[in-house]
Chain A
Amino acid sequence: MAIDMSQFYQVFFEEAKEHLDNMESLLLALDVDAPSLDDLNAIFRAAHSIKGGSGTFGFTDMTEVTHVLETLLDRLRKGELQPTTEMVDAFLTAGDVLRAQLEHHQGGPEADPAAIADVCQRLEHLASDETPAASETASSPMAAAHPVCHYRIECPLALELAGNEQAIDNLIAGLGELAAIEVEHRPTPADPRLVALLTTDKQPAELRDALDFYASGDDIAIHPVDAAATAAEDEGYGFFVEIANEPAGAGEGFSTSVTPAAPALASTETEGFGFFDEAPGAPASATATEGYGFFDAAPGAPANAPAAVHEEAGFGLFLDAPGAGGASASPAPAAPATAPAAPPASQAGRRASDNPSVEVAKTGRREADKTSTTSSAESSIRVSVEKVDQLINLVGELVITQAMLAQSTQHLDPVEAERILAGIDLLARNTRDLQESVMSIRMLPMSTVFSRFPRVVRDLAGKLGKQVELKTLGENTELDKGLIEKIADPLTHLVRNSLDHGIETPEKRLAAGKPAKGTITLKAAHQGGNIIIEVIDDGAGLNRERILNKAKERGLAVHDNMPDQEVWQLIFAPGFSTAEQITDVSGRGVGMDVVKRNIEGMGGKVELHSAEGFGTRTVIGLPLTLAILDGMSVGVGDETYIVPLTLVIESLQPAADDIKTIAGEGRVVHIRGEYLPLIPLGAVFNLERALDDPTRGIVMVVEVENGKAALFVDELLGQHQVVIKSLESNYRKVPGVSGATIMGDGRVALILDIAAVARMGLQINRRKYGQNQLAA
């Protein structure tokens, strides 16, 4: 029965990824000086599960890495070795390598073989109590060799070759150049399989290449085998026969009936299954107490000899067990005709991950060990993002329809149309609730982003020689999936900045009377319809002098009496870096300006607060979702526009003597001691019938990139929650507009990109008033 294994891959990928994430967070939390056995067991189990799965589904490259990983972890959990920081580093690197391999199997780029070999080597060294020489840890591809592994290959030769002794000799000789080879079964016309054990530092792929001429690639099976298993278990396999003078049912002291005359058994050393004699439930064997005649391994052994005739059988039963099933027929292929010499038995390095004498904690296992796949198997379902987005769109339409109904029933007499109006009210409430719960489907907790930082901080702090503790607060705060994905990069940049420029070296900190260990705090919290994310460090803070000097160098308009807040804003200027030297951590030419641009692109804001000597706090404010927006609708000429409410500071009707004209710059409006550039929306969008006299319209003070601007509109219409529709995907990109929405009356209103509108307005002003100046 052929079963296509690929149908299970996706589940394995997800599972492996969860195990890797779980392993990483456990490793990062591991106290090297006092490791908890529970944690070590959990880490071991994660590696072990990946190994089992990858072996089963044929991702042997991952099996190899997890195997060496598991070996070292096993020694740790047994207390044979003490964990060291170096080990944790190696484990983390191994996790990265496994991730890369996993991505490769999912169609990503190939994992770096040098990195794989390097990490295997490191792990092996650590497991063998040796410290690798520095030259070996250098991950240069030159020095990196694939670790020596044992493989069992099984490859059915093409039939025309199977009888060709010369060809077979050539093949074996060819393999012999790549590996120490131990032929278990030489191909014959009757059984064209070549079965051999190889011990080599070559990659399986290279072995495969050598075999490719002789067999079709799909049929070639190359499995890593345990060194211990390779060293043929003397008993050949799990067939324990009751010794005649022993009372039946003796639970221990079983012995094998392997006789010198049974060399063939050696070839089943990785038998993979066995039945215990006298174990409950074993199938009755006709010769149960006789000892097994077929152990003489003659070809054509009786069919009730399970396993003996199975090359690499893979299971075993303990004989004479209670509950015997009646099955005795064995689906035995013809037994191999040749009995190869048994590989040398070496017991060295036998692992005992299943050894029960290992004190495995059987109680008090932490809940967290349970992978979320298993724990949430019954309580959650996976739904594609498209379906959710479809749902959000439909709800958006419903909201618009509801608004339309509300608007068209407004003029009805409340007494006569009581029922319909009550219905409309109820509909409004239900629609809002429905919208909220649909939105929440797309919401993910901030922990999905925060979880990457322990690793980032650990690696960087190590590189920079700083001591840093990372704290996270409010990681359960939820945010829309799309925003979560977008906020990760800016946050990473800010955390790197804090580490690189903020937190001082331990010496400097001590000299300043601070604890040697710095703290970086990531904090998330809801605030109205927004989420506030903060990155706080207790480092040196921003250096006002240095920022001002740098700004002067770059010819920015600054003066020494600027308020702090404005000085900090200078950091967001393009290409502005105050790093004394460019490090490979944050001096990559990607500055805070990019961070600011990204955050504003999400409809968010970013602010800096700092106190010299005490640290820096970066505050990011984001809308919870990109699907709806709180907006203020404004009328200009015959058009309606939506201004995002978060950017509106105040609205007022200016007096005539508050409007001034500055040559070359255009009109400004004087509001509370500040002169703000006046941006006439009608002029920006070229609207015929817009007002031209600000004193007759309304001026809306809005926040823009570097301060405030006064948006001049005809009238304010109202405040709404609007459903955002993309203009770009439905029409095309329009300058000054970030999206569109459908109003209750069915008309389309454009949502303004305030920053762009302000820029456009300033240009228009300069053109208009600059010309006047030239003429004057």
Chain B
Amino acid sequence: MGKVVLTVDDSASIRQMVSFTLKSAGYEVVEAVDGEDGLNKAKTKAADLVLTDQNMPKMDGITLIKTLRGLPQYKSTPILVLTTESSDAMKTAGRSAGATGWLVKPFDPQKLLDVVKKVIG
């Protein structure tokens, strides 16, 4: 039984790429199209890792992380925020929202796998 990764991104192509990459490496992937959808999917299926984009309609990544951290079952689940830059402001925000770390876009499939491996093996 592979570990479950929830990927939250409003871009279908990025979602597809992330999903394909992780599935090829044996992870189980749940896709969500925005923060709200991600929250619902996270509630219905326990994820071992959450990858979320920051800029999304309905609910952005930071809000999603904060909300997830408020749920008992996601208190200590690794959550990575995907962002297009690594500014201090973003890090402060990510950190205070409760993110485990960040991953800068664009990333290639290999880098994604490296990070996911690092976090959930």
Cβ A276 vs Cβ B100 within 8 A: yes
One digit per residue, 1 when the CB lies within 8 angstroms of any chain A CB and 0 when it does not, for chain B 95-113 equals 1111111111111111101
In the complex, which of the residues A14, A48, A254, A314 has the most CB atoms of chain B within 10 Å of its own CB atom? A314
Complex CA distance for A314 and B59, rounded to whole angstroms: 25
- Say yes or no: is B45 at the interface (Cβ < 8 Å to chain A): no
Closest Cβ–Cβ distance, residue A125 to chain B (whole Å): 23
Closest Cβ–Cβ distance, residue B14 to chain A (whole Å): 6
Closest Cβ–Cβ distance, residue B115 to chain A (whole Å): 4
Which of B1-34 touch A at CB < 8 Å? 10-14, 16-17, 20-21, 24-25, 33-34
Cβ B100 vs Cβ A56 within 8 A: no
Complex CA distance for A275 and B79, rounded to whole angstroms: 10
Cβ B113 vs Cβ A272 within 8 A: no
A272/B107 contact (C-beta < 8 A), A238-B91, A251-B96 known: yes
Complex CA distance for A375 and B34, rounded to whole angstroms: 10
Complex CA distance for A251 and B33, rounded to whole angstroms: 29
Which of A354-400 touch B at CB < 8 Å? 354-357, 360, 362, 365, 369-371, 373-375, 377
- Residues from chain A with a CB closer than 8 A to the CB of B91 are 238, 240, 274, 276
Closest Cβ–Cβ distance, residue B79 to chain A (whole Å): 6
A370/B16 contact (C-beta < 8 A), A1-B25, A315-B111, A323-B77 known: no
Complex CA distance for A354 and B63, rounded to whole angstroms: 12
Complex CA distance for A252 and B104, rounded to whole angstroms: 21
One digit per residue, 1 when the CB lies within 8 angstroms of any chain A CB and 0 when it does not, for chain B 44-62 equals 0000010001111111101
One digit per residue, 1 when the CB lies within 8 angstroms of any chain B CB and 0 when it does not, for chain A 458-487 equals 000000000000000000000000000000
Complex CA distance for A429 and B109, rounded to whole angstroms: 55
A315/B80 contact (C-beta < 8 A), A11-B16, A330-B118 known: yes
Which of A266-286 touch B at CB < 8 Å? 270-276, 279-283
- Say yes or no: is A81 at the interface (Cβ < 8 Å to chain B): no
Cβ B93 vs Cβ A355 within 8 A: yes
Q: Specify which of A52, A229, A317 is in contact with B86 (CB 8 Å cutoff).
A: A229
Cβ A354 vs Cβ B96 within 8 A: no
Complex CA distance for A266 and B119, rounded to whole angstroms: 25
One digit per residue, 1 when the CB lies within 8 angstroms of any chain B CB and 0 when it does not, for chain A 322-335 equals 11011111110000
- Say yes or no: is A45 at the interface (Cβ < 8 Å to chain B): yes
- Residues from chain B with a CB closer than 8 A to the CB of A251 are 95-96
Q: Specify which of B58, B92, B95, B110 is in contact with A370 (CB 8 Å cutoff).
A: B58
A52/B80 contact (C-beta < 8 A), A251-B95, A273-B111, A315-B102 known: no
Q: Specify which of A254, A314, A370 is in contact with B34 (CB 8 Å cutoff).
A: A370
**Chain-B contact segment, one of A345-353, A574-582, A709-717, A732-740:** A345-353
- Residues from chain B with a CB closer than 8 A to the CB of A315 are 80, 101-104, 107, 111, 114-115, 118
- Residues from chain A with a CB closer than 8 A to the CB of B10 are 45, 49, 370-371, 374
Cβ A8 vs Cβ B13 within 8 A: yes
Complex CA distance for A360 and B17, rounded to whole angstroms: 27
- Residues from chain B with a CB closer than 8 A to the CB of A213 are none
Closest Cβ–Cβ distance, residue B1 to chain A (whole Å): 17
Cβ B87 vs Cβ A352 within 8 A: yes
Which of A285-330 touch B at CB < 8 Å? 306, 313-318, 321-323, 325-330
- Say yes or no: is A506 at the interface (Cβ < 8 Å to chain B): no
A57 to B, closest residue via Cβ: B13
- Say yes or no: is A775 at the interface (Cβ < 8 Å to chain B): no
- Say yes or no: is A5 at the interface (Cβ < 8 Å to chain B): yes
Cβ A226 vs Cβ B118 within 8 A: no
Cβ A52 vs Cβ B115 within 8 A: no
A322 to B, closest residue via Cβ: B76
Cβ B105 vs Cβ A55 within 8 A: yes
Complex CA distance for A615 and B78, rounded to whole angstroms: 66
Chain B interface size, as a band, is 35 or more
Complex CA distance for A237 and B86, rounded to whole angstroms: 8
Closest Cβ–Cβ distance, residue B86 to chain A (whole Å): 6
Cβ A52 vs Cβ B106 within 8 A: yes
Cβ A360 vs Cβ B60 within 8 A: yes
- Say yes or no: is B90 at the interface (Cβ < 8 Å to chain A): yes
Q: Helix, strand, loop or mixed for chain B's interface?
A: mixed
Cβ B96 vs Cβ A352 within 8 A: no
Cβ A8 vs Cβ B16 within 8 A: yes
B111 to A, closest residue via Cβ: A314
- Say yes or no: is A184 at the interface (Cβ < 8 Å to chain B): no
A371 to B, closest residue via Cβ: B10
Complex CA distance for A280 and B121, rounded to whole angstroms: 16
Cβ B119 vs Cβ A281 within 8 A: yes
Cβ B99 vs Cβ A306 within 8 A: no
Complex CA distance for A63 and B84, rounded to whole angstroms: 11
Cβ B111 vs Cβ A228 within 8 A: no
- Residues from chain B with a CB closer than 8 A to the CB of A3 are 17, 20-21, 24, 109-110
Q: Specify which of B12, B16, B69, B94 is in contact with A276 (CB 8 Å cutoff).
A: B94
- Residues from chain B with a CB closer than 8 A to the CB of A350 are 87
- Residues from chain A with a CB closer than 8 A to the CB of B118 are 283, 306, 315, 317, 325, 327-330
- Say yes or no: is A122 at the interface (Cβ < 8 Å to chain B): no
- Residues from chain B with a CB closer than 8 A to the CB of A283 are 118-119
- Residues from chain B with a CB closer than 8 A to the CB of A614 are none
Complex CA distance for A57 and B106, rounded to whole angstroms: 8
- Say yes or no: is A51 at the interface (Cβ < 8 Å to chain B): yes
- Residues from chain A with a CB closer than 8 A to the CB of B24 are 1, 3
- Residues from chain A with a CB closer than 8 A to the CB of B83 are 354
Complex CA distance for A397 and B106, rounded to whole angstroms: 52
Cβ B102 vs Cβ A274 within 8 A: yes
Cβ A5 vs Cβ B17 within 8 A: yes
Complex CA distance for A254 and B88, rounded to whole angstroms: 11
In the complex, which of the residues A1, A226, A228, A275 has the most CB atoms of chain B within 10 Å of its own CB atom? A275
Cβ B100 vs Cβ A318 within 8 A: yes
Cβ A322 vs Cβ B75 within 8 A: yes
A321/B100 contact (C-beta < 8 A), A15-B13, A353-B55, A371-B10 known: yes
Closest Cβ–Cβ distance, residue B2 to chain A (whole Å): 15
Complex CA distance for A329 and B21, rounded to whole angstroms: 20
A323/B75 contact (C-beta < 8 A), A11-B16, A272-B104, A317-B101 known: yes
Cβ A42 vs Cβ B100 within 8 A: no
- Residues from chain A with a CB closer than 8 A to the CB of B86 are 229, 233, 237-238, 270-272, 274, 316
Cβ B102 vs Cβ A273 within 8 A: yes
- Residues from chain B with a CB closer than 8 A to the CB of A370 are 10, 33-34, 57-58
- Residues from chain A with a CB closer than 8 A to the CB of B62 are 356
Complex CA distance for A191 and B76, rounded to whole angstroms: 39
Q: What are 8 A-B pairs with beta-carbon distances under 8 A? A: A5-B108, A8-B17, A49-B55, A53-B11, A56-B14, A273-B111, A274-B102, A353-B55
> Would you list the 4 A-B pairs with minimal beta carbon distance, nearest first?
A323-B76, A281-B78, A55-B106, A272-B104
A-B contact sample (16 more), CB < 8 A, given A5-B108, A276-B101:
A1-B24, A45-B55, A49-B55, A53-B14, A56-B14, A56-B108, A57-B13, A233-B88, A238-B91, A273-B107, A280-B100, A281-B77, A321-B76, A325-B118, A354-B55, A356-B93
